[in-house]
A and B are shown apart, each in its own frame.
Chain A
Amino acid sequence: MEFDVVVVGAGPAGSVAAWAAAEAGCDVLVLERKAEVGVPKQCAEGISAHGLEHAGIEPQDEWIATEISRALIYAPNGKEFEVPGDGYVLERRVFDKWLVVRAVEAGAEVKLLARARRALVDDGRVVGVEYEGVDGVHEVRARVTIAADGIESRIGRTAGLVPPLKPTEICTCAQYEMIGVDVEEDATHFFVDAEFFPGGYFWIFPKGEGRANVGVGIRGSESEPGDALKVLNRALEDHELISEAVAEAVPVEVNVGGVPVCGPVGRTYGDGILVVGDAARQVNPVTGGGLHTSLVCGRIAGEVAAEAIEEDDTSATFLKQYQDQWKEEFGRMFKYTLKASKILSEMSNEELNALAEALDREDILRLVKGEGVVKVAKKVIARKPSLLKYAKHLMK
């Protein structure tokens, strides 16, 4: 089999990349190991309105569960911050399918139950992948391979671009979708507590009429086997604010997953290959959000792959444009959020409370987006000198 572009993984990154490449006229094959695109979901399903718009995707009723107008962040001492901002909680099983259908309508082919086993490397250049389908093992050759294969990224790894995550670089997550959750439904809710949720946070993202994604992520280095699910259950029982919100709630789904919080890999391209989305660790390390970045980077990957084929130059030198372009969009954001994430994960509850005293909601918004961070750091030092050592890291 031979294609212009083979995309591994039909998550948001892969489907958008396939959509863009097919729309530009390429022959595209998408390989997906699961039986159903978007299932099981491994996501709290939140995205900002800006994120969708940035990706050029028009919001559709069929995959929007609720509209959000603000985030509420709770410090360990219960102090509450309101950060205004429009967004959505999606229905990812519908969203992910909608995206792959866009790719198919643009002309891409999709194979389900097709697990890519390794990148085919010929003289240092990736020339396709070997995959295992329902009818055995096959090779598919392609001029550009796009590794959109999520956190595991077997293809990114076997191509030598994606190193394994260290336990400090991953958040291990467990979530229930629940019914009967009692929270304000125009807001996403974030609970920070270094003792309860070390190196991560707890979230409640409402999906309307009492339905909500209720989950937690903790740093892998702070976790023992099964801790994510145990911490989730414990918080539902014992955390003052959370237990109140879920007092009458019943779970209807269990979702688990890992989130890379190390910032993007150094090199997201090589001869004949691009790496995108969670595979490339293109995830905001403060929020753990990877939808906005996956969608935008996926589109760039698909477009650059198509240009490379058009120009008949799929060398690393040409494909580097992909990295230049996504850095243009997100380079600054990753730089600052990575620092902020490291700092937040090291803080004690006392320090987090002190930080909460020193910050107002505009500051938090800046930290999450990685904008005007130095200004925020200076303010923190002025108000809480005890946080000097952390604020200094931010200004480096």
Chain B
Amino acid sequence: MVERCLGCAACAAVCPKDALTISGGKPEFGPECDDCGICAKVCPTGAIEDEGE
């Protein structure tokens, strides 16, 4: 699978739980994440869809 996260932080900007941070150009999920899926929805490349699989 190609690396699809380009570090744009759109995902982190919408996370209602503040559970996502961009570190090393990639999203890092914290323990507060409740799997609501909002971050994946706005990801331009579908990178978060991959993470969940």
A-to-B contact residues, CB < 8 Å: 33, 40, 42, 115, 117, 150-154, 157, 164-167, 170, 172-174, 220, 223-230, 254-258, 260
**Cβ B46 vs Cβ A152 within 8 A:** no
Closest-CB distance, A372 to chain B (whole angstroms): 33
**Cβ A225 vs Cβ B10 within 8 A:** no
Q: In the assembly, what is the distance between CA of A225 and CA of B49, in Å?
A: 6
B6, B18, B45, B49: the one within 8 Å of A164 (CB): B18
**Cβ B18 vs Cβ A225 within 8 A:** no
Assuming the contacts A42-B8, A257-B8, asked whether A174 and B13 have C-beta atoms less than 8 A apart, the reply is: no
A40, A167, A226: the one within 8 Å of B14 (CB): A167
What chain B residues lie within 8 Å of A257 (beta carbons)?
8, 10, 44
Q: In the assembly, what is the distance between CA of A226 and CA of B38, in Å?
A: 12
What chain A residues lie within 8 Å of B16 (beta carbons)?
164
Q: In the assembly, what is the distance between CA of A283 and CA of B43, in Å?
A: 20
Assuming the contacts A170-B14, A226-B49, asked whether A256 and B21 have C-beta atoms less than 8 A apart, the reply is: no
Cβ-closest chain B residue relative to A154: B21
B-to-A contact residues, CB < 8 Å: 4, 6-10, 12-16, 18, 21-23, 38, 40-49
**Cβ B45 vs Cβ A220 within 8 A:** no
What chain B residues lie within 8 Å of A42 (beta carbons)?
8
**Cβ A223 vs Cβ B42 within 8 A:** yes
Assuming the contacts A164-B16, A225-B41, asked whether A172 and B48 have C-beta atoms less than 8 A apart, the reply is: no
Q: List 23 A-B contacts (CB under 8 A).
A: A152-B22, A154-B21, A164-B13, A164-B14, A164-B16, A166-B14, A167-B38, A170-B14, A173-B44, A220-B10, A220-B42, A225-B41, A225-B43, A226-B4, A226-B44, A226-B46, A228-B45, A229-B45, A254-B6, A255-B6, A257-B8, A258-B9, A260-B13
What chain A residues lie within 8 Å of B7 (beta carbons)?
40
A157, A164, A173, A225: the one within 8 Å of B46 (CB): A225
What chain B residues lie within 8 Å of A170 (beta carbons)?
10, 13-14, 42
Beyond the given pairs A167-B14, A173-B44, A229-B45, 11 more chain A to chain B contacts, judged by CB atoms under 8 angstroms and listed by A's residue number, are: A33-B22, A42-B8, A153-B13, A164-B13, A167-B38, A172-B42, A172-B44, A220-B14, A223-B42, A226-B4, A226-B43
Q: In the assembly, what is the distance between CA of A105 and CA of B48, in Å?
A: 40
Q: In the assembly, what is the distance between CA of A184 and CA of B4, in Å?
A: 32
**Cβ A229 vs Cβ B44 within 8 A:** yes
A-B pairs, 3 with minimum CB distance: A226-B46, A258-B10, A228-B44
Closest-CB distance, A127 to chain B (whole angstroms): 21
What chain A residues lie within 8 Å of B43 (beta carbons)?
172, 225-226
Assuming the contacts A154-B21, A157-B18, A226-B49, asked whether A256 and B44 have C-beta atoms less than 8 A apart, the reply is: yes
B4, B40, B42, B46: the one within 8 Å of A258 (CB): B42
**Which one of B4, B13, B43, B48 has the greatest number of beta carbons of chain A within 10 Å?**
B13
Closest-CB distance, B26 to chain A (whole angstroms): 12
**Cβ B9 vs Cβ A152 within 8 A:** yes
Cβ-closest chain B residue relative to A255: B6
Q: In the assembly, what is the distance between CA of A256 and CA of B18, in Å?
A: 21
B8, B13, B49: the one within 8 Å of A256 (CB): B8
Assuming the contacts A151-B13, A154-B21, A226-B49, asked whether A256 and B42 have C-beta atoms less than 8 A apart, the reply is: no
Closest-CB distance, A250 to chain B (whole angstroms): 18
Q: In the assembly, what is the distance between CA of A165 and CA of B42, in Å?
A: 11
Assuming the contacts A172-B10, A225-B49, A256-B8, asked whether A164 and B15 have C-beta atoms less than 8 A apart, the reply is: yes
Assuming the contacts A151-B10, A152-B22, A257-B8, asked whether A224 and B15 have C-beta atoms less than 8 A apart, the reply is: no
Q: In the assembly, what is the distance between CA of A212 and CA of B22, in Å?
A: 29
What chain B residues lie within 8 Å of A166 (beta carbons)?
14
Assuming the contacts A226-B49, A258-B9, asked whether A174 and B14 have C-beta atoms less than 8 A apart, the reply is: no
What chain B residues lie within 8 Å of A40 (beta carbons)?
6-7
Cβ-closest chain A residue relative to B23: A115
What chain B residues lie within 8 Å of A174 (beta carbons)?
44-45
**Cβ B45 vs Cβ A256 within 8 A:** yes
B6, B9, B40, B46: the one within 8 Å of A150 (CB): B9
What chain A residues lie within 8 Å of B15 (beta carbons)?
164
What chain B residues lie within 8 Å of A115 (beta carbons)?
23
